[in-house]
Structure 1
Amino acid sequence: MDFLHTDLETLHEQLVNKEITAVELAEATLSNIAATDDTYEAFITVMKDEALAEAKAIDEAGIDPDNILSGIPYGIKDNLVTKGVTTTAASKILQNFKPIYDATVIEKLRANGAVGVGKLNMDEFAMGSTSETSYYRKTKNAWDQTKVPGGSSGGSAVAVAAGQVPFALGTDTGGSIRQPAAFNGIVGMKPTYGRVSRWGVIAFASSLDQVGVFTRTVKDNARVLAAMAGQDEKDQTSSDIAVPDFTANLRGDIKGLKIAVPTEYFGAGINADVKTTIKAGIAKLQELGAEVEEVSLPHTKYGVAAYYILGSAEASSNLQRFDGIRYGFRPEGVKNLDDLYVQTRSQGFGDEVKRRIMLGTYSLSAGTYDAFFKKAAQVRTLMNEDFQNVFAKYDLIIAPTTPNVAYNFGANEDDPEVTYMNDVLTIPVNMAGLPGMSVPAGFVNGLPVGMQFIANRFQEETIYRAAYAYEQATRLFEQVPGGNK
């Protein structure tokens, strides 16, 4: 099964017309994963038995002609809990953890007939931008296996970009969907905070985490998001705002759309060729009828510092539950309860997770709370005000997704600050709870470049409308790994 040149609509037609059964599609997907994953190392766990059982049940019930996801296989980031299937968040501390329930997004996709085929690699507890902090695997970029795939949802991005699955789920705390989507030349959507339930997401930073979607095309992305979005009584932060048909306005027409281009997103530290590629993309949007003006988001420069204070503070609180008592890894030969806690966390967590726990605990301590955590929260408010000032006059913000293209493994291992700065263009969207999506914009030295579409809260429709017009005008989704670049 060639997912690199097949969209959801075509797969759905083949299933409805009985050209292929759900079981045959699942078997072909699993065979392809088995044949290719030694190259990419995208999967931590393959759900062969579960996938074939679900596909068989769907065939017996009959493919739903009105449900485009009926019988469609997909991949799941390994921080989304799956009932009875090992869920590790790419950490040693959860190496044998089998949840007793499904995340809400998994329940919703199953209700729509989608078939989960495996759990995908990631940075440990979603803490990282390269997927290198995983305890289990070293996921490779789909275009060049000597390069990082991005992160933290690196496995999800690679599985889609390499054609292993037609879509995959990820989470985005500071760019963890959009950045790997950019590095692998696919579409990655981080919805508005509250648009999708977080119930069943192993938390990193609860006020920033959001579940989203990786696909090869904009329309496929819109269809999957519509299926998994909506209010969830189990998640008090999920919104009751109605979920529209995100595909309704995908006509290729963006005449009169007002686009803002922030000067801060094209400043020092952004690769010159990336800037040129994105400016060419903006010019294409103008050709299609959009009105473009430069604007300022003056507090952008404080985003990374504020994010790592707030995100790490929330992480230090969320990760207290991993103590070796109730579930997960427990070391042998401990002397007492205190030693159990110390050894569990010392041996079970990787260096990056420990680093963020320590940073978060420090910023929440009595002597530093006002100087760090409180100040970072105030900066977050100012950043949100910047965005609202722009969205009072404009429909969309367009910018690069990342300051560079994918780079070599280990390039920044001695300087985590450099890695942190790779999220400088994506973090502000999470800080303000906005929707943002990365769409392929071209190539630099044979590696993909992503263009970021940002809208006001719950305006995903506007992002999809503009991104679809751009995608159809450029046809960049037709270029795939191993093909012409």
Structure 2
Amino acid sequence: MPSPTLTRVRQAYARIEAVDRPEVWIGLRPQAEAEQEARAIDARVAAGEHLPLAGKLFAAKGNIDVAGLPTTAACPAYAYTPWEDAPVVARLRTAGALALGTTNLDQFATGLVGTRSPHGAVRNALDPTRISGGSSSGSAVAVALGIVDFALGTDTAGSGRVPAAFNGIVGLKPTRGLVPTTGVVPACASLDCVTVFARTLPEAEQALAFMASPSGRELPALPQRAPGPWRIAVPPRAQLGELDEGWAEAYEAAVERLAAAGAEIRHLDLTPFTDAAAMLYEGAFVAERYTAVGSFIDKLIAEGDTGLDPTVAGIITRARDIPAHQLYADQDRLAALRTRALTQLGDADALLLPTAPGHPTLAEVAADPLGANARLGRFTNSTNLFDLAAVAVPAGLTPAGLPFGVMLIGPAFTDERLARLARLLQPRLRLAVVGAHLSGQPLNPQLLSLGAEWERTTATAPVYRLHALSTAPPKPGLVHVGEGGAAVETEVWRLSAEGLGQLLAALPRPMVLGQVELADGTHAPGFLCEPDALPGTTDITAYGGWRAYLNH
């Protein structure tokens, strides 16, 4: 029987083929090579070695060095092949994680859209007509599609948070300096952060714990937190500016969720944050991007190279002629804005904002590449300029049925506190169960241990058949048949997205997670059965449910 890491690798390559998203990858390792490394990892674990991330797969943004794979920053002419991993990659591999490949990005990490790449626009994981968000586009989509367990990105202006929001996953942007940027192609070296994407907060935090450097930026003496409930700062509605339809309501629901969890909600003036956000590209700070790769781009343009994204090239080359005096003036203005912003934040534990003001389509970005990108950075651009930490998490759905994300932003080195607060925002999801997870059944304690709460007993729509499987413990298999089906007794439970992810990770074949249609016409995730496991089983649909069958 294949060992855990090997099984996970094979699942990943099967998933890559199934989703057919070639634009996600710049450098994908050959499956045989990944399988060989997986066998070695599993052998080390079997020999007693402690590898806490064994069985986990990750991807790295294409501006982060992975030994043996070209680092291109999405510019083929820039490519070089590193002989060693970037420290963040090396630390994850030392802990047993397996690097699957490098992912697509907005060229030279310049953009929040995920479309500025010669390797193609990275489409959103849930709606391929919309952007994935950038610049860490491929990394976010690889996680959202279930190909890898977590992925590395970078975040200078929001590149590790906007794609997280658009693809319904978690994005942790640590305090600057907590994670080393050695082996990372710089965008703005003084502002860059290596970030992590994952489907759940615990997965992201686990990866970040191995990435962080004990010898990195020195931890200052943080002021003692005043006692009392969590204190969350929010801006007046008018200061959020124009949002997509329904996004203001989704944001207000997140605020209400924190208030219901006992947080004290207070208002602040968002102006210094948004004023600083505009400075990142409109002011002199963009000159640092020219310092990073400007001379290389100038050389390519002179040689007539066609591998440059025109929008990226224009942004970086225009920064060449910014006068030095403007930089000093902007630094003075930024210092004043930061003082005002921190005064507004006061002793609040975090500022809650929408991660982005809207989610454009690919066509909308193509029609206005600069304007669309500028809008997306309204809430994210100031974070690193102000030396703040942030975590982006899903917070429900938009009216279009797409993920809506929010950010919690706090002072440097409050990363752990922000993650604790983010847990309060995690929506409770419904789960439909028809068998061994029902109340009183052998696997129901799994739900209870994850904090699941019973909501109601109902039935499926009359489009399913129920079969008794030969498993231990005994369980049924629910399969959608459409015509010829019947209603089956069902319990609906509510649990966190994190809990649902843990159930899914431990789900044995032939069980799969899918959408179950209920008697009232609504749908909820639930346990279904792979049809190829049904031959030779007993159809027990006539009993009306698993408990009735057991009691017959």
Using structure 2 for the length normalisation, give the TM-score. Answer: 0.72
Matched, 1:315 2:261: no
Which of 22, 25, 32 is the equivalent residue of 2:8? 25
| Between structures 1 and 2, the one with greater strand share | 2
In the other structure, the counterpart of 2:371 is 417
Alignment partners' CA distance in 1, 2:146 and 2:375: 30
In the other structure, the counterpart of 1:212 is 195
Residue identity matched to 1:359 = R
* Identity %, equivalent residues: 31
Which consecutive residues of structure 2, in runs of 5 or more, have no partner in the other structure? 221-226, 430-495, 505-512, 516-522, 525-552
Residue pairs, 1:99-178, within 5 angstroms = 99-178=82-161
Which of 15, 23, 36 is the equivalent residue of 1:41? 23
Query: What whole-Å deviation, never above 9, does each CA across 1:264-297 have from its counterpart, x for those lacking one?
Result: 8843222351111011111111111111111113
Alignment partners' CA distance in 1, 2:238 and 2:497: 23
Query: What whole-Å deviation, never above 9, does each CA across 1:75-129 have from its counterpart, x for those lacking one?
Result: 11111011221121111322x5212221110111111111000111110011111
Structure ranking higher on relative contact order (CA contacts 8 Å, 6+ apart): 1
Moved more, 340-349 or 120-129: 340-349
Contact 2:64 2:86 in 1 (8 A): yes
Find the residue that maps to 1:322 and give its secondary structure.
Answer: helix
Matched, 1:57 2:11: no
Aligned in 2, Cα 1:224/1:255: closer, same or farther, shift over 3 Å? farther
Aligned in 2, Cα 1:69/1:260: closer, same or farther, shift over 3 Å? same
Contact 1:93 1:322 in 2 (8 A): no
Moved more, 388-397 or 167-176: 388-397
Deviation (angstroms), 1:298: 2.7
Which consecutive residues of structure 1, in runs of 5 or more, have no partner in the other structure? 1-17, 233-237, 243-253, 324-337
Alignment partners' CA distance in 1, 2:143 and 2:301: 39
Aligned in 2, Cα 1:255/1:159: closer, same or farther, shift over 3 Å? farther
Matched, 1:275 2:255: no
Matched, 1:359 2:318: yes
Find the residue that maps to 1:164 and give its secondary structure.
Answer: coil
In the other structure, the counterpart of 2:276 is 303
* Alpha-carbon RMSD: 2.7
Using structure 1 for the length normalisation, give the TM-score. Answer: 0.82
Query: What whole-Å deviation, never above 9, does each CA across 1:119-166 have from its counterpart, x for those lacking one?
Result: 111100111111111111221101111111011111111111111111
Alignment partners' CA distance in 1, 2:21 and 2:76: 23
Contact 1:81 1:99 in 2 (8 A): yes
Deviation (angstroms), 1:241: 2.9
Aligned residue-pair number: 430
Matched, 1:469 2:453: no
Matched, 1:93 2:77: yes
Contact 2:130 2:362 in 1 (8 A): yes
Find the residue that maps to 2:99 and give its secondary structure.
Answer: strand
Find the residue that maps to 1:450 and give its secondary structure.
Answer: strand
Which of 371, 381, 386 is the equivalent residue of 1:427? 381
Which of 289, 304, 309 is the equivalent residue of 2:262? 289
Contact 1:140 1:147 in 2 (8 A): yes
Contact 2:137 2:163 in 1 (8 A): yes
Alignment partners' CA distance in 1, 2:377 and 2:26: 25
Find the residue that maps to 2:382 and give its secondary structure.
Answer: helix
Alignment partners' CA distance in 2, 1:164 and 1:255: 42
Aligned in 2, Cα 1:321/1:197: closer, same or farther, shift over 3 Å? farther
In the other structure, the counterpart of 2:60 is 76
Matched, 1:440 2:440: no
| Between structures 1 and 2, the one with greater helix share | 1
Moved more, 389-398 or 378-387: 378-387
